[in-house]
Structure 1
Amino acid sequence: MRTVQLGRTGEQISQLALGCMIMGTVTPEDEAVTILNRYAEAGGNFLDTADCYCWWESQGSYGGESEELVGRWLARSGRREDVFLATKGSAVVRNLDLVWKDGRPEWDAAYRNFVGAGAKTLRDAIDGSLRRLGTDHVDLYYVHVDDRSTPLEETLEALAGIVQAGKVRYIGWSNVRTWRLERIRQLCAQHGWPAPVALQQQHSYLRRRAGLRHVSIVDDEQLDYLQTHDDLTLVAYSPILKGIYDDPEKRRNHGVMSAYDGPDAEARAAAVVEVAAEVGVTPNALVLAWLMQQSSPTVVPLIGPRTLQQYEAALPALDVKLTEEQVARLDAAGA
């Protein structure tokens, strides 16, 4: 498995990251452990989780199941030193009673009830994550959901303290606007606080539809910002958009497409199918290969397989080398 440098840190991370979000809930422990073992055996080292994973899968849960499973795997496998371990804080729900209705979570209510990125909240959150993960530090710690109700100075000073205490090596940010990211970086430079080295956003081959306002999906401005600031690595979650590239029927009916529907998406989906046939992989794998071949900015796709079969379906992407002509054709596709 190829590696790339994380920002300008000198750290080498796998160019295909493994998301552990649903491990221990949707994905049973035995299957999750098999996926983790296969990933490590293939040379993968970049694991991603969060303290809130997966409260929405079980009413009454505040999350933590994923971190606990990863912690058990690290303890049994003895691979902690081989793993670049990332987790996140700020998106645990304060009051579960306010977000569940008729046995289903209401996401609008959840977003209004996240604990946020206050100083005490983050200090408590990292201690909880370390306890569940069974380690004395994590390599990368994200603010999971940008918190505009807490002064950035408070959040950044707390993160600096957590880094200074040795509990976190590097920080990152997720689900954030570009102007906020620039403000974060300015404050870090001004006060000598550690600046983010990773930006985790939803990013795929399809482009969000015209006119859509969506804080979590990379737009043209954010891509331009990342191209200019190579000390930030883009970690792309939902890179294959729930697997819609392989299935035209799924593209027509899946809710994930509401952010992408339109002539541009149709043209780009057709281009993916065409090039995937040429190189002999599935369209989903082709999209992962295209993302891994990006260099400006560097992109690390974050896969979150539900099953071992889904994990194995992603692996052919590692062996794809697209020609300059194929990359140009994919880049040019669209309305």
Structure 2
Amino acid sequence: MKTVELGRTGEQVSQLALGAMIMGTSTDEPTSVEMLDRYLDAGGNFVDTANCYCWWSREGSLGGESEELLGRWLAGRRDRVFLATKGSAMVWDQQGLWRDGQPDWPLARTRFEGAGAATLTKAIDDSLRRLRTDHVDLYYVHVDDRGTPLEETLEALAGIVAAGKARHIGWSNVRTWRLERIRQLCAANGWPAPVALQQQHTYLRPKAGLDSASIVDGEQLDYLRAHDDLSLVAYSPILKGVYDSAAKRAGHWAMDNYEGPDAQARLAAVAQVAAEIGVTANQVVLAWLLRQSPTMIPLVGPRTLEQYETAYAALDVVLSDEQVARLDAAGA
């Protein structure tokens, strides 16, 4: 597996990041460990988790299962892993949060713990305890908290870095104008600036009129092209695997932000290229993302070993310049 530089940090991370969100819950521990071992043995090093993963897997959970599993697995391997975790999206108050066995996400979003100084200071310590390490390599604000002054959040993060508990910081689920304000404050105050932006990004483009702080739009891509000190870590790059199956796409919530004529045209282009080179549409999308500039790191979160191997195989998919141009140009 090739590596890429994270921002301008000098840190070399694997070109395909491995998400551990459902490890220890939907994916059992033996399968998770096998997946992690295969990834590490293949030259992968960029492992991503969060303190809240994954409370929504079952009623009564407060999260932490993923970090705890990684903490057990990391023993003897810590120096081979570029470890990322996140704070600010833990949901402590779960009163009335579950209905008919499912979490109420709109309600949950109103109860995120936020990015206040005391919250982040406690959250990083709790994460380090679960991960059984004295530091993480990258610490994200998981969900941008507009109820807390940015100065408070950034000063707290600077203290976390100064204490050696995190080596770099990142931000996730954030609008471009906020990201620019964050960078300006860091420059003015000498605080460590984000080196990674984790957002949802895929081959399909968000539908017209979509209002989302989490999905990369044209403006954000333009911003990233102009600021190569900030790497995009693209989560949900294959949208739960819907590229491979029209039946799976039909009515799937992952398509809600994309469905329309533009999406249909781009899905057709992916299917055509996949047929030409004899691979899956999901693999074409991952290969296309790996070809993008500025530096973009797809983050995959497979549930099974088969899904992991399919995603890993995308590293060997070779798209011709003509095919890339065709994929780029496709759309309504």
How much does 1:101 deviate?
2.3
Please report the TM-score for the alignment, with normalisation by the length of structure 2: 0.99
2:24 equivalent in structure 1: 24
Q: Which runs of 5+ in 1 are unaligned?
A: none
The one-letter amino acid of 1:320's match is V
Residue number in structure 2 paired with 1:44? 44
Q: State the secondary structure of the residue aligned to 2:256.
A: helix
Counterpart selection for 2:109 from 105, 108, 111:
111
Q: What is the alpha-carbon distance in structure 1 between the residues aligned to residue 118 and residue 108 of structure 2? A: 20
* Structure 2 CA distance for aligned equivalents of residues 40 and 276 of structure 1: 28
* Identity between Structure 1 and Structure 2 (%): 73
Question: What code does the residue aligned with 1:193 have?
Answer: W
Query: 2:34 maps to which residue?
Result: 34
Match of 2:306 in 1: 309
**C-alpha RMSD over aligned residues:** 0.7
Q: For the residues of structure 1 that align with 2:238 and 2:60, how far apart are their CA atoms?
A: 30
Any residues of structure 2 matched to 1:48-67 within 5 Å, and which? 48-67=48-67
Q: CA deviation at 1:94?
A: 2.7
How far apart, in 1, do the equivalents of 2:110 and 2:96 lie? 10
> Does 1:268 pair with 2:266?
yes
1:191 aligns with 2:189: yes
Name the amino acid aligned to 1:299: M
Matched position secondary structure for 2:234:
strand
Cα distance in structure 2, aligned partners of 1:323 and 1:17 = 24
Is the counterpart of residue 72 in structure 1 residue 72 in structure 2?
yes
- Structure 1 stretches of at least 4 aligned residues deviating more than 3 Å after TM superposition: none
Q: Which residue of 322, 328, 332 maps to 1:331?
A: 328
- Map 1:191-210 to 2 at 5 A: 191-210=189-208
Q: Distance in 1 between matches of 2:219 and 2:325?
A: 21
Alignment of 1:165-180 (within 5 A): 165-180=163-178
Q: What amino acid does structure 2 have at the position aligned with 1:242?
A: K
Does structure 2 retain, via aligned residues, the 8 Å contact 1:123–1:162?
A: yes
How does the TM-score come out when normalised to structure 1? Answer: 0.98
Q: How many residues align?
A: 332
Measured after TM superposition, the shift of residue 102 of structure 1 is 3.0
Corresponding position: 1:120 with 2:125: no
Q: Counterpart of 2:320 in structure 1: which amino acid?
A: T
Whole-angstrom CA distance in 2 between matches of 1:254 and 1:32: 26
Residue aligned with 2:95, SS: helix
Measure, in 2, the Cα distance between the counterparts of 1:71 and 1:196: 25
Counterpart position of 1:289 = 287
1:124 shift after superposition: 0.2
- Consecutive unaligned residues in structure 2, runs of 5 or more: none
Cα deviation code 1:65-102 (max 9, x no counterpart) = 00000110011xx1110100000000000301142223
SS of 1:70's partner is helix
Q: What secondary structure does 1:86 align onto?
A: strand
